[in-house]
Amino acid sequence: MAHWARRLLIICMPVAVGLMAMIYSPTSGLLCELRSRSRGLLAALERLGVTSPDKIQLEHDMYIPGGCPNSGNDHSEETADVTAVILNWSRLSNVIQIVESLCHPGADDTIAAITVWNNNPISVSHSDFAAANCSTSKLRIYNSPENVYFQARFIACSQANTPYCFIQDDDYFVYPEIIRAIRHRMDSQDPQIGVHLLPPHEMLSSRLRRVYVGSEIHTSFAWLGHGALIPRVRAVDFLALMSHLNASEDEIKMADNYYTILANTIPETWFDQGVELGGGQPFTVGAEGDERNKRHILRAAGYLEHVLRCTGSACMNSSGVVRSYVTFNGGMQPEHRASRLSTDLSFAASRYCSLLLVTSIALLQGDLDFTASSPTDILRVEKINADKLGTGAVNNYVAHSLSLAVDGDTETAFRSAKDAMAGDFLRLMSYVCGGFKFFKLA
């Protein structure tokens, strides 16, 4: 690591850009090998007074909110405006644990309310959540008369009294600081479409599932269950669009497979620091589950093509419903599409404090091409580009993901596929660090 770190200057600023790391020149070998805490970016944070020992670890390496110092950027008086939506099916103990973390006073500046949507036929009540120490005024429990699967999260979000919803499954734990960081990020999104947290293997799949068709279609796919913060109005508009499309009951239940593709935009995705809780019976199991997901992804792509290429009076009459959710006329010129991936920014949520690592360094290299004749080519495009990358590049992307630079583990590291280019940067955006200091990484 020392072969490049001497060339890395961190500038700490108490403004929106937070901590900016700039690469002054490329080096030989693997440029980006960031080791956390002792020799990496978290070591730099410790020099600013943001230390890690008080990030309390419990069983399963769980987190107690409020461990990070707040040096000059006090958000405690801000009005929380996020409703957390959690689906329960077969992992009630996980849901209780998640609710406890979201109800902790350390999350009060972000989480205004929590909705637990129970798809299980066995009803639950506030008494089942006694261990979560969450008031009945903050925690709402809805026992669904039937299992409506994933459309439940969008219905629950549409009924929220806040402008934003944080959505997650019951087999995943998301650190509340990460939710806070996403909420801050939403203030700078234009238009606001949301942020999706993904583990490395799902991030790779999402990146390779980008597809560009002509000048009108530019879409991709991203899951929501690992954690996603979306504007409430997007849930409302999405449900209206699915109704307008006369989607079948089966399709509406599998709403996650349609949400990002129908938006006709590239969703913002972050490498996560999530903790798998396990337990219960997973919904997607084996080849049958994978084939079901692929079938609905292709169905969503078919709907998108129909919407954007629809002509006639019927389409004009429905344009209000469609245009409220689907992005129109946002495609790129053909000469820019193939290289778009290499110029995208990549984001990784830090495990400690509300920090976000951003880099312009290309995480995927190679002759990748995302153009297609139809959005229904989305899975074919993914397969072709994965083959172009090769096993070595795929394994490096997953095993040395950007999130490992800020996971607080000295035994893990982020490694880029190749050297950075002149002008590439690493930027650490902080929502807790104040002051103005300069330092170099040793």
Give the pLDDT confidence score for residue 127 in this predicted structure. Answer: 97
Give the pLDDT confidence score for residue 191 in this predicted structure. Answer: 82
Q: How many CB atoms lie within 10 A of CB 329?
A: 8
Give the pLDDT confidence score for residue 146 in this predicted structure. Answer: 94
Give the pLDDT confidence score for residue 320 in this predicted structure. Answer: 85
Q: What is this structure's pTM?
A: 0.82
Residue 11, both tokens: 């500038």
**Domains of the chain by residue range:** 80-412
Give the pLDDT confidence score for residue 326 in this predicted structure. Answer: 94
| Spans in the chain with pLDDT lower than 70 | 1-78, 279-286, 313-314, 316-318, 329-343, 431-442
Give the pLDDT confidence score for residue 294 in this predicted structure. Answer: 96
Give the pLDDT confidence score for residue 188 in this predicted structure. Answer: 87
Between the CA of residue 331 and those of 211, 213, 385, 411, what are the distances in Å?
10, 8, 20, 42
CB-based contacts of 188: which residues, under 8 Å, 6+ apart?
16
**pLDDT tens digits, residue range 279-289?**
666 555 568 88
Residue 43, both tokens: 């070591």
Backbone phi and psi for residue 421, each to the nearest 5 degrees, phi listed first:
-95, 160
Q: How far apart, in whole angstroms, are the C-alpha atoms of residue 178 and residue 36?
A: 17
Give the pLDDT confidence score for residue 283 in this predicted structure. Answer: 55
**Helices of type H across 370-439:** 378-399
What is the distance, to the nearest Å, from the Cα of residue 168 to the centroid of all Cα atoms in its chain?
10
Give the pLDDT confidence score for residue 432 in this predicted structure. Answer: 54
Does domain 80-412 match CATH 3.40.50.10090?
Answer: no
**pLDDT tens digits, residue range 97-117?**
999 999 999 899 999 999 999
